[in-house]
Amino acid sequence: MKTCLVADDHVMMRDALAGTVRLVWPEVAIVEVGDFPGAWTAAKRSADIAIVDLMMPGAMPREGIKTLREAAPDMPILVITGTDDDRLMMDLLALGIAGFAAKTSNSSVIEAALRLIDAGGRYLPPRLAEIATSRHAASAGFSDRRPSDGSVGANLTDRQRDVLRLVARGLSNKEIASELKLAPETVKTHLARIQTILGARNRTDAVTRAREL
């Protein structure tokens, strides 16, 4: 049975997040806590995934998430946040956070993020994905978003590569979902991330750029 840690200092928010988690995994065991110390303790009990509010009692955001990562290094963490501090989110991304979702996100966004993370992907808001891609391109010496070698393509996860291969074969999202045993929404999210990473305009352009790499 999958176990999910839901950490938020607002009871109503925890209830809403827990309800969304059960849409993804009906048989999930949910552990709810309301502060960072509680999250650190619960994480040591081997939760499979965590949904964590960035602003909770017990620690500042960076310290709280860093300590949580140290408590359970292999546990994917979806951070729920209302901040627009790109530097803070980039710092957390460097810690290996699996994704970010805004506190104003509806349940379908949280559900898509959880499915993508469970499939081995990373869920980033479009603005943050652009910043991450641009920084990678700048550090690699690219003059624009178009990759000139394999380094950007190497950021694709194995699952994203699987999706891209099936796109190249001409399969639809529904057919890809069936082939990989994923939800169609997860395939759509994978494709959005692939296009962002490769700097592609659409799925056809993504295949073209991947072949160039």
Based on the domain organization, do 142 and 78 belong to the same domain? no
Q: DSSP labels for 42-68?
A: HHTTT-SEEEEESS-TTS-HHHHHHHH
Cα dist from 193 to 37, 105, 151, 163, whole Å: 33, 18, 16, 11
Letter string b/e over residues 48-60, b meaning 16 or more CB atoms within 10 A of that residue's CB: bbbbbbbebebbe
28's tokens: 């999930």
Which one of 73, 93, 123 terminates a domain?
123
Mean pLDDT value of segment 99-126: 85
Based on the domain organization, do 68 and 112 belong to the same domain? yes
Based on the domain organization, do 101 and 179 belong to the same domain? no
Based on the domain organization, do 145 and 158 belong to the same domain? yes
Q: Are 164 and 173 in contact (CB under 8 A)?
A: no
Supply the range of the domain harboring residue 192.
Answer: 127-212
CA distance linking residue 8 with residue 199, whole number of Å = 35
**In this model, does residue 153 exceed pLDDT 60?**
no
Number of domains the chain contains: 2
pLDDT, position 87: 83
Residue 39: give its domain's CATH number. 3.40.50.2300
pLDDT, position 147: 41
The more confidently predicted of residues 146 and 16 is 16
pLDDT, position 141: 45
pLDDT in tens, 160-200: 889 999 998 889 989 999 999 988 888 888 888 888 788 77
Q: How confident is the model at residue 127 (pLDDT cuts 50, 70, 90)?
A: low
Which letter does DSSP use for residue 35 in this model? S
Mean pLDDT value of segment 47-63: 94
Based on the domain organization, do 146 and 103 belong to the same domain? no
Q: What is the mean pLDDT of the chain?
A: 84
Residue 149: give its domain's CATH number. 1.10.10.10
Mean pLDDT value of segment 71-99: 87
The more confidently predicted of residues 124 and 45 is 45
Q: Which of 15-29, 92-106, 140-154, 198-212 has the lowest mean pLDDT?
A: 140-154
Which one of 82, 102, 123 terminates a domain?
123
**In this model, does residue 148 exceed pLDDT 60?**
no
Based on the domain organization, do 164 and 70 belong to the same domain? no
Q: How far is CA 182 from the centre of its chain?
A: 16
Q: Which of 57-71, 110-124, 138-152 has the lowest mean pLDDT?
A: 138-152
Q: Which of 7-21, 119-133, 139-153 has the lowest mean pLDDT?
A: 139-153
In one letter, which amino acid is 68? L
pLDDT, position 189: 85
Based on the domain organization, do 107 and 134 belong to the same domain? no
